[in-house]
Amino acid sequence: MDFHVLPTRTGGAAENMALDFLLLQRYPAGTAIRFRHYEWRSPAFTFGFGQKVAWVRGQLASDERVDLCRRPTGGGIVDHRQDWTYALVIPREHPLWEERASRSYRLVHEGLAQALRELGQPAVVKTDTGAASTGAPAAGICFQQAELFDVIHERTGDKIAGAAQKRNKHGLLFQGSIWKPAVGAIDWDLFGGRFIVALVEAARAVMTPVPWPELGDDEVEALIGQYSSPEWMEYR
């Protein structure tokens, strides 16, 4: 199976969330795995699909101006001001699509932790269940507490990386975030390359850098508008 590595793009919160969703729904080469790292145009937070926006706003500083958007995936509030953000889409043709969410979560994070260790960082996947861990991110504030199969600092136990997932008939969307302050000084471009190699090996795929896909300008703009709308923000 092909593993497509897309170019890095910088966008606002609604744009980044819309593009991730379109990579799941409308990707031209639908049977390829696709991966992208992306950046943020301004200070941003995203929050899980099932969270209540009133509660989310209550967790943010009232005097802080940030770009806020509901994600298509679950999980908690994610602060993107100092993170390394990525999206991974696994098509339904891949065996991992049929696996339990905890299996895909662990597999991706094992590759992430491996890439960090290769750069001298003491990163491991959390495998002890602790109290009420479920293998999915907590529906609160990300990086405050590590859940089962998150990536943590081996010595301190501090959370380094978490993610959220959405599975539908097209495939599995995996939206992940690495909190840079929890990691020592590293070359993030070098990390990205090693992370991709680890994922390619785990997926038993063939890596191919590709240009940004033709998704259709009208559909992209319409979905960005939806993700920017009060109706989407106030959905719950």
Residue by residue, pLDDT tens for the chain (236 residues) are: 999 999 999 999 999 999 999 999 999 999 999 999 999 999 999 999 999 999 999 998 877 789 999 999 999 999 999 999 999 999 999 998 888 889 999 999 999 999 999 999 999 999 987 644 444 444 566 667 889 999 999 999 999 999 999 999 999 999 999 999 999 899 999 999 999 999 999 999 999 999 999 998 999 999 999 999 999 998 87
The 78-79 sheet, strands edge to edge = 67-70, 44-47, 78-79
Placement of tokens 């136990």 in the chain: 157
- C-alpha count within 13 angstroms, C-beta hemisphere, residue 162: 29
DSSP helix/strand/coil, 166: strand
The whole-number pLDDT of residue 23 equals 97
Residue 10 tokens read as: 């910088």
Residue 188 tokens read as: 């993030």
Q: How far is CA 3 from CA 62, 165, 219, in A?
A: 42, 19, 24
* Domain extents in the chain: 2-233
The whole-number pLDDT of residue 142 equals 65
Give the domain 2-233 fold: BirA Bifunctional Protein; domain 2 (3.30.930)
Q: What contacts 133, CB < 8 A, 6 or more positions away?
A: 126, 147, 148
The whole-number pLDDT of residue 62 equals 74
The whole-number pLDDT of residue 177 equals 97
User: What's the CA gap between 92 and 200, in Å, rounded?
Assistant: 17
